[in-house]
Amino acid sequence: MFEIFIQNPLALTASIFILGLLVGSFLNVVAYRIPIMMRKEVEIDYLSIQAEKEGNEFKPSDSEAFNLAVPASACPKCNSKIKAWQNIPVISWLLLKGKCANCKNPISVRYPIVEFVTGLFSLVVAFQFGASWQLAGMLIFTWFLIALTLIDLDEFLLPDSLTLPLIWVGLLFNSFEVFTSLENAVYGAVIGYLSLWSVYWLFKLLTGKEGMGFGDFKLLAAIGAFLGWQALPVVILLSSIVGAVVGILGIMILGRDKNVPIPFGPYLAAAGWIAALWGDQIVDAYFQFAGIK
């Protein structure tokens, strides 16, 4: 398969774009369902403990099953099942004019945007890495980052069910030195976690407040596991600058309360993705600007 794509770059880019659109549709499901699944797990644990205290046995009903596959996608208003032709990335939303085929309830434009952006980002990765194992690893990296960004924007949450597997995937790829050596990847994961962990506790000791969540530590650890510890300064610098600029603009233009927290995960994800694709060029450009090179 690699040979076919190496000989025909157009087939590679077209296939990756279509794959990205399909994955983007699935990421919409992931971003919506994982927080609900987490809340349901907490609820089930609570009910189980209560039943145990009362001497009863608690058995969740099969009808209450809720995961990434069950129940089938349906309109939240009329509960009509979404047919296969209504679930074609981007195209179905356009054909349906952004409305449910049954009740005409509006369908958020976020769905086709996520699908298209995922396809576009996947295409950029394909152009950057070509037919290689780096392409495979970076696609997984990109898709996880998109899912984590969506969930953090919605819920101020970076689930362990995504951040922890991403760390292991990064280490797995780098056990074959796909992006960096395994040694650099391990140090990247450790330093990534401990750097934000240290900032968290220093800020808490000085202010008595929590400046970020533990999910941010794990996300930076995952980025370090993929890119190695050498990429972490660029990632931290980029995410901090973008986060500060967006926060200031939000206060000045939108009148946002400066005491209202903003999720840091999306800035880490964006910085990690940019560093993965153009980190070396950014560092070289900085050194040239500073007259070091």
Q: Which of 127, 148, 182 is the last residue of a domain?
A: 127
Taking residues 238-264, report their average pLDDT.
77
pLDDT, tens digit, 9 for 90 and up, residues 198-215:
998 998 898 888 878 899
Q: Which of 108, 127, 146 is the last residue of a domain?
A: 127
Taking residues 116-143, report their average pLDDT.
96
The structure's pTM equals 0.92
pLDDT of residue 5: 64
Residue 289, pLDDT > 80, answer: no
107 and 227 both lie in a single domain: no
96 and 142 both lie in a single domain: no
179 and 254 both lie in a single domain: yes
Taking residues 13-21, report their average pLDDT.
95
pLDDT of residue 11: 84
pLDDT, tens digit, 9 for 90 and up, residues 86-114:
889 999 999 999 999 889 999 999 999 99
Residue 59, pLDDT > 90, answer: no
pLDDT of residue 247: 74
188 and 235 both lie in a single domain: yes
pLDDT of residue 3: 63
Q: Higher model confidence: residue 201 or residue 243?
A: 201
Residue 28's domain spans which residues?
Answer: 1-127
Cβ neighbours around 11 below 10 Å, total: 12
Nearest-10 Cα torsion for 102, 105, 109, 111: -50
Q: Which of 72, 92, 127 is the last residue of a domain?
A: 127
Residue with tokens 């659109």: 21
The DSSP letter of residue 99 is: B
Taking residues 263-278, report their average pLDDT.
94
24 and 74 both lie in a single domain: yes
Question: Domain total for the chain?
Answer: 2
Q: Higher model confidence: residue 93 or residue 255?
A: 93
